[in-house]
Structures are given as structure tokens and as C-alpha cells.
A and B are shown apart, each in its own frame.
Chain A
Amino acid sequence: MKQRSLFDVISPIMTGPSSSHTAGAVRLGILARNIYKEIPEKVTFKLYNSYATTGKGHGTDKGLLAGLLGLTVDSCDIKNIFELPISKKIKYTFEFEQNIDRHPNSVDFILEGKINMTISGNSIGAGNVEIIKIDDFSTKISGEYNTIILFYKDKPGMISRVTTLIQADNINIASLECDRNAKGQTASMCICVDGDIPESLIKSIENIEDVYFVRNVKKLED
């Protein structure tokens, strides 16, 4: 469980007007950036439900793009992001959809470039967010912890091989969650840790046989 803080009630210093629709949108953009790692050539933002209907008035569209481009929740550039040179570097479009199966404040980042990836996230209240899906895999990335995310072939011993490497670096695991499409098919692992994740650890996990994809998703700073 999250350690509660005094600064849950007096923070963040943020661009208004809404913690869920503005600050939350920026944070989702930052997490998508931390997962994708590259600058995409093109991104389609698909906004759902309340994000779709009241997003414009709350600057949700601006926040999502600003976060993806690396701006933080307190940046005064969010307001004018569409006019700034950094937003000219990539192509972006917005789509709006109503879908009762999705969270009220929900978004898909459809990223195209060296690799194509779809990242889905929700803004769950008071600026807190979670990435719930990368392509077809369920995830649970809240940005509270540095997180290792990997996709691999579902077979015995994979969790143990990965956690042995983590233990070798003397890193404490805060939580671990797995998901799979079907037995023997592709599976996903989501590992939240205390402290920093060295790049060398990510490399060694990548080298495990039948690991398809590994990312070190940095926690949110504010």
C-alpha cells in the first residue's frame, strides 16, 4: 500500500484546472514516454468518456501531448504546447469516443515509429494514474515506483530467473504481477522495486532466453 504523505493534500504545484483531467493527463503522457522510450514519429491520442467530453475545457489534450514530450505537471508551457516548437517535431491527432467498458477518464496512446505500440491508461482521481495495458497485455503501472516491465514466453522458471537477477543487484521488490494470454503463449511481468534500476540489470533480463521485450519505467517525480 502507498505510504500516505502530507504532500498528498498540499501538492502538486501544477498547471490547472483539474488534477484528474490536466495533471493526470500530463502524468499519463510521462509514463507513456517512459515506456516507449523513443520519440514517436506519430501518435494518435484516443480519449474516452469524460476525457472525451470535457477534455478540451480542461486541457486534457494539451496535457497528454505535453507529458509525452517530457514536460512536467507544473510546466507553464502546457497551456501553449500546440504552438511550441517541440510539438512540431511529431505528428499527432486526437480521437474522441464513448465506451462504457472503459474508465471514465481513459486514454489510448497509439504510437508509431521505429516500433508500434499502444499504451492505455486511466486517470483514477486526485492526479493519480495507472497504465493498464501495453498492446494486448494488462499492466499496473502507477508511477509510484520504478518498475520493470517485460513480455516473455510463458514457461516454468521465468519468474525465478528474473527475480534472481534482481536479487543479485540487491534490489528489493515491492510488488510483482504476472499475466498471460494463454498457457505457453506470451506473458507479461510487472515488477515494482525500491530504489533505482541499473541499465545493466535491464540488459541481463533482456538476455534471458524467450524474453521478448523489457522496459525500465521510471517513477513519476512529483
Chain B
Amino acid sequence: MENNINTFEKLLKECTTSGKKVYEIMQEKEASDFEITVEEVRNKVYKNITAMKSAILRGLSSKEKSYSGLCGDDCFKLKEKYNKKPALFGKLYEKITMYSLATMEENLRMNTIVACPTAGSCGIVPSVIIALSEEKKITQEEEINALITAGAIGYIISAKVAMAGAVAGCQAECGVASAMSAGAIVEILGGTSKQIINASTLALKNILGLTCDPVAGLVEIPCVKRNVFLAVHAITAAELALADIESKIPSDEVVDAMVQTGQLMSPLLKETSKGGLSATKSGILYNRKLMD
């Protein structure tokens, strides 16, 4: 096995020559790099899935506000709405939107979540994997395969850029989480390795330029609702990829574009809370109130 898989091209080549899926390549690589067994890797992944599920469960039954008082009851509102009037796009859509909110609201309540890839983007990957798992009735092993697939996508992207809003804006947080989720969806739906990578590419390509401008520096506005939007974004990418609609710009080049866009992005828009939403009249007002 090629032991330095750090591009999508290498990953796909490895899948093609070995006849293995993305998750198989990744779990074997992780086991070999850290001198543990594949079973140990999978057990560690499952521990994360369990933590994701409990965060969702807790989040669904709470409307406790955050320390700032700005957020915390949106999942409750959405659940009430769906109870009265189901979502036009069906049960799966309802679950993805609620689960991403539930997780992010648990995060701002200082409860336990899984950073995936970061705490500020922790709602996206769990919402699509768990919602799909419930609706498609997949097994525990398939859930693990899906999360390892998501992890492989994040792993490849993070070879070129740190997963931090301060480095490349929200592209590197919610953007990457959405790309990871798109890959996971295609894995669950039985797509090929090529489709998995293409789904991630399409997701990433369509969030280029996403800034990180949190109001008052908190992981709340716009982070909480952004998680919902980018979870849904992943579905679109997966559907297109399953139809073999390919990104005309190859995957690794899209990552390069994301890195360059991050470098060109003004520091005012990279987690400093000095531009964008945080510098609006209302953003400044929220900040001033919290400082008092």
C-alpha cells in the first residue's frame, strides 16, 4: 500500500488498484501508522458515533440557552414546527435539520460533542450519518464505514490546510464538514469510491470563499444555523455525484483553490470577529451587551 496517501488522486488510485473502498484504505492506513489493529480503529470510531448519538438525543429535548443567551432554542422551535406541519422534503430532511441543530446547541450549552472536524462544525457529519442510518436502517458496521469515509475526506484535505477558521475561514470548518458528509452519504447509499470523492469535491467547490465572522467571537452566530445549511448542502452534492455529474476541476485542484482562497481572505474575516456579520450594526451591539 502507498503509505503516504495525502491527495484524492492517490486515494482513488489506491482504491482502484486494490479493489478496496475508501473506508478500508483509511482504516488500514490508520492501523498501520499507529501500530494498532483495524478492529481497534473501528472501536475508536464507534465510540465517537455513540457520543454523537447521545449529543443528538440530549439536544432534541433541551431548550436551555447558551451563556450569552443568544442561542439555544432553535431545535425546539423546529421540532414544534415539524410536529404541526411536516417538512415538504420528508422525514430524512426533518432529521438532518433537527440533528444538526441539536448537536450545535449542545455544543453552545457546554455539553459533550464530537469535534468533526471542529467544535464549530460539530453538527454536520453526525446529522447526516445518524439521520440516514435511522431512515435507511443500516447496521452499526455501516455507520462505522460511513464515519471512516467522512474522516478520510477530512484527512486528505487537512494535509494541505489546517482545520481552523483562523487559517482558511469557515471553508475549513463547516465547508470541510459538508464535504466529509457528502462522501459519507454516498458510502451509505452504495456509491463507488470515485463517486464518494466526487461528492466531497462538489460540496467543497460550492462553499469556496466562506468566511468566519462569528458575532462577539462566540461559536453561535452564524455557526449554529450554518451547520444546518451545510448539512443539507451535502445531500445535494451526494445526489449529483451519484448521477455521475463530475466536477470539471479535479478534486485536488479544488482543495488547492480552497487553500488559496483562504490565504487571500482578509484576516478581518478569519475568526477575528472584526469584519462581516460581527462588524454589522447589530453584531457590534450584541458584542457590546456581552462585554458589559
Contact = CB atoms under 8 A, between A and B. Distances in A.
Nearest to B71: A17
Contact of B167 (A23, A57, A125): A125
B120 to A, nearest CB: 7
A9 B119 contact: no
Given A58-B218, A58-B219, A10 B112 contact: no
A50 B272 CA distance: 9
B133 interface: no
A3 B34 contact: yes
Contacts of B216: 54, 57
Interface stretch (A72-80, A110-118, A133-141): A72-80
A79 B118 contact: no
B148 A79 contact: no
Contacts of A16: 106-113, 119, 122, 219
B contacts with A: majority SS: helix
B114 interface: yes
Contacts of B114: 10-14
Nearest to A56: B67
Contacts of A126: 115, 117-118, 162-164
Chain B contact patch, size range: 35 or more
A100 interface: no
Interface in A117-132: 125-127
B89 to A, nearest CB: 27
Given A14-B115, A16-B119, A125-B166, 20 more contacts: A6-B152, A7-B44, A9-B116, A9-B158, A10-B115, A11-B115, A12-B114, A13-B51, A13-B112, A14-B112, A16-B111, A17-B108, A17-B110, A17-B220, A53-B291, A54-B218, A57-B290, A59-B67, A79-B109, A104-B166
Interface of B: 26-27, 29-30, 33-34, 41, 44-45, 47-48, 51, 66-68, 106-120, 122, 125, 147-148, 150-152, 154-155, 158-159, 162-164, 166-167, 176, 180, 216-220, 273, 290-291
7 contacts: A6-B29, A10-B151, A15-B110, A16-B112, A17-B119, A58-B218, A79-B110
Interface of A: 3-20, 22-23, 50, 53-54, 56-59, 62, 74, 76, 78-79, 104, 125-127
